[in-house]
Every structure is written in structure tokens, then in C-alpha cells.
């Protein structure tokens, strides 16, 4: 009987390992991973007609700078957080954020976020826009859900709130 007990234990251990491996494989195959791009004080420059896609969340900290020039395109499939630094859209550049966009921080400190939309740029936020920082708009911003402004807003363009 000890051989039978030992064989049963070995088979049970092998089945558990295969079940665990199968579960991990199923999780990876389902695409349940999250991607985060953090701009930690650097400069991200999108030249004219450049395309950048972030499959997940874009976060700017430590005074990170993002600039999209004429006809450049930024797509963020998650949220975009400008905790510190600025995101500037010039010319006919476009940005689409599939979830929420936030600017934040404390005025007159390094931890202050700016969203700047110039000339004919277009920013579409499919979730909420919550600003504790500063929004400067001379172009078009579409917000599909709520726009909560607790910071500074300068608008010389169009801001439309509510799903089209």
C-alpha cells in the first residue's frame, strides 16, 4: 500500500500544479494586465503627425512635460493624470482619453498640473475631467461625463460637457 499512497500523492500534486498553471495561463490570455506610462520629470515630444498610444494609464509627475505638435495624435485607453507638469496640445493635434483626465496639485509648487489646448487642437475625454490644477483652453475640449473644476480655468475656445 505505501506505493499506491505515494503514487496517489504524486498524481494529486501534479494535478494541482497543472491546474495552477492553467489558471495563470487563462489570466494572461484574457488580457487582464494593466499598463502604466509614468513621465517622471521627463519630456515627451510628439512631432507633427506623430502617433502615440498608451494602452492603460498615463501619469505625469515631477514636472513632466508632454507636447503634441500640429496633427499629432495621443490615445490613452485608460486614465490620464497630470499630477505635476503639463500636457500641451498645439495646432491640429488630438487626444482621446477613454476614461478620466485629472489635473492636480498645489498652486505655486512643483506639484501642479496643467492641461493646455492651443489653436485648433481637440481633446476628448470619455469619462470625467477633474481639475485641481489649471486648464487653459483656446481650442476644443469634449467631456462626455462630468467636468469638476476646483482649480483655475481659462477658456477662450469650446468646452462641451455631456456625451454627444
62-76 pLDDT tens trace: 899 999 999 999 999
Residue 65 CA to residue 56 CA, distance in Å, equals 19
pLDDT surpasses 80 at 105 = no
| Residue of 156, 124, 130 lying closest to 143 (CA atoms) | 124
Q: Exposed/middle/buried for 95, CB within 10 Å: 0-12, 13-18, 19+? A: buried
Strands 57-61 and 36-40, sheet pairing: parallel
CB-CB neighbours of 41 under 10 Å:
14
Q: Judge whether residue 29 has pLDDT over 50.
A: no
* Residue 112: pLDDT band with limits 50, 70, 90: confident
Amino acid at each position: 500500500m505505501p506505493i499506491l499512497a505515494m503514487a496517489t500523492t504524486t498524481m494529486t500534486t501534479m494535478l494541482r500544479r497543472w491546474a495552477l498553471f492553467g489558471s495563470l495561463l487563462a489570466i494572461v490570455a484574457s488580457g487582464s494586465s494593466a499598463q502604466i506610462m509614468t513621465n517622471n520629470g521627463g519630456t515627451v515630444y510628439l512631432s507633427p503627425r506623430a502617433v502615440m498610444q498608451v494602452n492603460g494609464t498615463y501619469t505625469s509627475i515631477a514636472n513632466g512635460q508632454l507636447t503634441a505638435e500640429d496633427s499629432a495624435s495621443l490615445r490613452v485607453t485608460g486614465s490620464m493624470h497630470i499630477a505635476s507638469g503639463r500636457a500641451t496640445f498645439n495646432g491640429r493635434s488630438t487626444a482621446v482619453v477613454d476614461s478620466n483626465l485629472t489635473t492636480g496639485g498645489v498652486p505655486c509648487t512643483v506639484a501642479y498640473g496643467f492641461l493646455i489646448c492651443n489653436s485648433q487642437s481637440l481633446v476628448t475625454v470619455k469619462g470625467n475631467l477633474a481639475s485641481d490644477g489649471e486648464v487653459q483652453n483656446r481650442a476644443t475640449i469634449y467631456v462626455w461625463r462630468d467636468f469638476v473644476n476646483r482649480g483655475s480655468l481659462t477658456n477662450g475656445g469650446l468646452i462641451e460637457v455631456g456625451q454627444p
